[in-house]
Structures are given as C-alpha cells and as structure tokens.
Amino acid sequence: MNLHGIHLEGLRKRYGEGDTAVDALKGVDMEVSPGEVVGLIGPSGSGKSTLLKCLGAVIEPTGGRMRLGSEIIYDDRWHIRDLRALRRDQIGFVFQAPYLIPFLNVIDNVALLPMLAGRKNTAARDRAMELLEALDVAHRANAWPSQLSGGEQQRVAIARALVSHPPVILADEPTAPLDSERAMGVIRILNQMAEQYETAVIVVTHDEKIIPTFKRIYHIRDGRTHEEQGEGRLIA
C-alpha cells in the first residue's frame, strides 16, 4: 500500500537568464493524497507541462520543495541521486498519446519496466496480466499496439504506468484523443486504480468533459496554482 502522496511547496522554475529569463513556475503549492485523483487545468503556456516535467523529475526546478510522502526529493536541489530510478520506481506516466512500444505486444509493453529492472519475465507478465484484467483488456494481451483501438491503447498505457506500484501517476492529457465515452472510461479507470492501489494521480487536462469528474482541481495561471473543489461527478 502506498502512503506517500505528493507535496509541493513554493516550487519554482525559471528558463533562461538575465533579460530573457522566463518564470514558468512562480511558487506552486500542491498536495495530492494517496488514492486521490486531482485535475490540473490551465490555458496554454500557463506552466502545466513545466510542472509535470518537474514532478516527473525530468527537468530540475529552480527552487522550492517537493516531497514524496515524508521523503524530500527536492529542496532547492535534488536529494535523490538516481532520478532515473525515481522515475522508474516512484512515478507512473500516462501520455496524451499512449506511446506504446510498437514492436512489443500488449503484455510485454506493460511488463517491460519490471523486466528491464531485472524482475523475472514470468513474474513481470503475471503482474501485467493482473493489471490488464483489472483494466478489461486482458483479452488483447497478445495483440500488437497497432491492433488496438484508441481506448484500449490508453488502458494499456495506464496499466504500464501502474505496473511498478508507483505512489504517483502523472497523466498528461490522457483523454485528448478519445471521444466522450472513452474519455470517461479512462477517468473512471484512473479513479479505480488510484483507489485500489492508493496512488496519487495528477491529471493535466484541457478536456472540458472530464473536468467535472475531479473532486479537487488545481488551476494554474501565470505559473501559480489555485486550488478549488470540483464536482467529483463521475458518471457510472
């Protein structure tokens, strides 16, 4: 069970220096508890992607603090030496497009990360199958990504994000390419998975149709976040 959640305090990110410097994040505060799905919304250029990259340990913030549970991972500098391992073990990613590996079948796409981490192939595939069953795509386990529908691909991508039991999942516009029905299906799954695996899920989105599903929403504008209560209206 994950009891981490993610906590940001005054997170800042500046691109460039001197007169050309741009402050993309000007002090972001955010807290997402285990099992919670929050929305991160804002107009283009508001800093959503920059925040996601900082959360994903892909770029280094300029200042502030970031905690994973009680563990400080950033406090004006990285406190974790191996950011790659942090991404592999602690953070799951779901992208706008599924970006499945085209030359691996569905089950191996999901099981890839633990297999590369040295876990036995059979154990990794068992875990992948468990997730595929939970996401209702187990029947496509041996199919190639190109043979799946958009919704199926996104569910496989979610399974891949969950395979290492990460305490945090970062979803970058996961419903953008999907119609309303499939988009709601993905959000429903993210909520189920968050609840089932005690995972903190941050969903970056522009998608008006899924915004009402969040119980809490972070609006980001000009590099700052504002929290508000959402409707939490998840249609069954």
Partner 1 sequence: MISLAGRDIQHSWGKFVFTGIGLGLLIGVTLSMAGIYRGMVDDAKALLDNSGADMWVVQQSTLGPYAEPSSLKDDLYRSILTVPGVERAANVTYLTMQVRHGDRDVRAMVAGIVPDGIGSPGWPMTLIAGRQITRSHYEAVADAASGFKIGDQIKIRRNRYTVVGLTRRMVSSNGDPMIFIPLKDAQEAQFLKDNDEIIRQRQRTASNPALNPPGMPAVLQAVIDSQSTSPYVNAVLVRIKPGSRPDEIADTIRRWRRLQVYTRPQMEGILVGKLIATSARQIAMFLVILAVVSAAIVAFIIYTLTLGKIREIAVLKLIGTRNRTIAGMILQQAIGLGLIGFAVGRIAAGFWAPVFPKYVLLIPGDSVRGFFAVVIICSLASILAIRAALKVDPAEAIGG
Residues that bind partner 1 (CB under 8 A): 48-50, 52-53, 56, 58-59, 84-89, 93, 95-96, 99, 101-104, 108, 111-113, 115-118, 121, 144, 160, 172-173
Ramachandran sector of residue 165 (left: φ over 0; alpha: ψ -120 to 50; beta: rest): left
Query: For residue 229, what are its two tokens?
Result: 């209560």
Q: Which residues contact 181 (CB under 8 A, 6 or more apart)?
A: none
Question: Is the Cβ of residue 33 or residue 95 nearer to partner 1 in the bound state?
Answer: 95
Query: For residue 75, what are its two tokens?
Result: 């406090």
Q: Which residues contact 220 (CB under 8 A, 6 or more apart)?
A: 28, 40, 41, 42, 46, 47, 48, 51, 226
Question: Is the Cβ of residue 60 or residue 133 nearer to partner 1 in the bound state?
Answer: 60
DSSP 36: -
Name the minimum Å distance from CB 105 to partner 1.
9
CA gap 203, 135 in Å, rounded: 18
b/e code 149-163 from CB counts within 10 Å (16+ = b): eebbbbbbbbbbbbb
Residue that is written with structure tokens 């974790």 in the block:
80
DSSP 6: E
Strand, coil or helix: 220: strand
Name the minimum Å distance from CB 166 to partner 1.
10
Query: For residue 47, what are its two tokens?
Result: 């800093």
The candidate with the shortest Cα–Cα distance to 164, out of 93, 74, 59, 66, is 93
Name the minimum Å distance from CB 78 to partner 1.
15
Question: Is the Cβ of residue 86 or residue 234 nearer to partner 1 in the bound state?
Answer: 86
Question: Is the Cβ of residue 158 or residue 232 nearer to partner 1 in the bound state?
Answer: 158
Name the minimum Å distance from CB 233 to partner 1.
26
Question: Is the Cβ of residue 16 or residue 118 nearer to partner 1 in the bound state?
Answer: 118
Name the minimum Å distance from CB 158 to partner 1.
13
Name the minimum Å distance from CB 198 to partner 1.
20
Question: Is the Cβ of residue 113 or residue 137 nearer to partner 1 in the bound state?
Answer: 113
